Amino acid sequence: QRYCRYGEARFGGEVHYIRPCFFKEGTPEFDLWKRAMEEAEAAYLSLLKTSSPQAARTVLPNSCKTEIMVNATLSEWAHILRLRTSPAADPSMREIMLMLLPQMVKRFPKVFGPIEEALELSR
């Protein structure tokens, strides 16, 4: 995780989490996950009062919202999208890549159209 002091005003004084695609709202699993996120946030904000930000962030889970920037050639993106849109891909990554693919097809149909077509054929 990158270093951010989530307790600051620019983050709304709170930690933001992304709900994993595995848990549907209203299920016992979702409720357990949500409680765990709330407890982690409380621990983090408490530790910020007595510890360094680096020490406090050690209690933050993988569900923390993270923003990344990725640079790749069209060929590399095609490779990434073929791998990460496959039904065998990690479900969370697949969810993101399936949102990206139509945008890439729109901008570069000759490069990414065949990937989208192959996905549709495999459904």
* Domain spans of the chain, in order of start: 9-59, 74-122
Kindly tell me the burial class for residue 96, based on how many C-beta atoms sit within 10 Å of its own C-beta (0-12, 13-18, 19 or more): middle
CA-to-CA distance for 5 and 54, rounded, in angstroms?
9
21 phi/psi in degrees, rounded to 5 = -65, -10
Which pair of structure tokens corresponds to residue 18? 């992304």
What global pTM score does this model have? 0.69
pLDDT in tens, 43-86: 999 998 999 888 998 999 989 887 778 899 999 999 999 999 99
Residue 4's pLDDT band, with cuts at 50, 70 and 90, is: low
pLDDT in tens, 6-51: 666 666 667 888 888 889 999 999 999 999 999 999 999 999 899 9
Q: How many CB atoms lie within 10 A of CB 77?
A: 20
